[in-house]
């Protein structure tokens, strides 16, 4: 990476990993919907760059992304993508960070972290899942994201047993994902895990793939932040 390229990477305002009740709204793609959701001030907005996803974001409206408030971190979601392509997308849209939702190894997390990006690594959780596999990712990831294990990359809007979170003993903060809806607020509030940092919202807040129900999101966000 050249110095000029590194300077074009926008540092995330959320590298304070002690922050709790983070909200990531993922799967954004339509300009006016992006603007409307941005008014709710989520901490992260996710844009999926996995061609097989129904929420595949390319091509995004570049000016709309550039005008987003600086306190909202723009996260690109990738699945087993090559480093060069990830970085090209980061520079094109001036993303703050990346979420790796495939079987990416530690090396690419290290490289992206060294590029000044916030790095979120997703892990599919199921019964008897070995959380110890995450330990080698700790130094190169700012957050982990726990999603349900499904045959589909990028998440399928399904929940896993949240009691399994008790088996996670590492220190890297995590976001909870997988079919979260407004009906889950009470159960989310019961999570006392010290590394629990926030939630990732997507399909249960949609009118159609990529088009978010702003009123429903607003209701969730307002209630979640006052729990």
User: Which entry of 16, 26, 161, 184 is annotated as an active-site residue?
Assistant: 26
Give the per-residue SS3 of the chain: CCHHHHHCCCCCCCCCCCCCCEEEECCCCCHHHHHHHHCCCCCEEEEECCCCCCCECCCCCHHHHHCCCCCCEEEEEECCCCHHHHHHHHHHHCCCEEEECCCCCHHHHHHHHHCCCEEEEEEEECCCCCHHHHHHHHHHCCEEEEEECCCCCCCCCCCCCHHHHHHCCCCCCEEECCCCCHHHHHHHHCCCCCCEEEEEECHHHEEECCEECHHHHHHHHHHHHCC
The one catalytic residue among 43, 142, 147, 200: 147
Distance CA 26, CA 94 (A): 17
Our answer to whether residue 109 is catalytic in this structure is: no
Catalytic positions: 26, 147
């Amino acid at each position: 990476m050249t110095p000029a390229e590194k300077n074009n990477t926008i540092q995330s305002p959320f590298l304070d990993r002690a922050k709790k009740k983070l909200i990531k709204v993922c799967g954004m793609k339509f300009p006016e919907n992006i603007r409307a959701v941005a008014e709710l001030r989520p901490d992260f907005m996710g844009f999926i760059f996995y061609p097989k996803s129904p929420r595949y974001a390319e091509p995004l409206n570049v000016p709309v992304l550039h005008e987003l408030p600086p306190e909202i971190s723009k996260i690109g979601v990738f699945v087993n993508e090559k480093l060069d392509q990830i970085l090209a997308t980061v520079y094109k849209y001036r993303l703050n960070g990346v979420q790796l939702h495939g079987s990416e190894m530690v090396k690419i997390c290290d490289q992206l972290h060294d590029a000044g990006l916030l790095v979120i690594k997703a892990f599919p959780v199921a019964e008897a899942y070995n959380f110890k596999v995450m330990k080698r990712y700790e130094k190169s990831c700012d957050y982990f994201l726990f999603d349900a294990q499904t045959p589909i990359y990028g998440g399928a809007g399904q929940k896993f047993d949240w009691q399994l979170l008790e088996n996670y003993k590492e220190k890297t903060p995590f976001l909870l994902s997988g079919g979260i809806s407004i009906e889950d607020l009470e159960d989310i509030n019961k999570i006392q895990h010290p590394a629990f940092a926030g939630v990732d919202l997507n399909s249960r807040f949609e009118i159609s793939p990529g088009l978010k129900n702003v009123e429903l999101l607003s209701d969730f966000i307002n209630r979640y932040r006052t729990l």
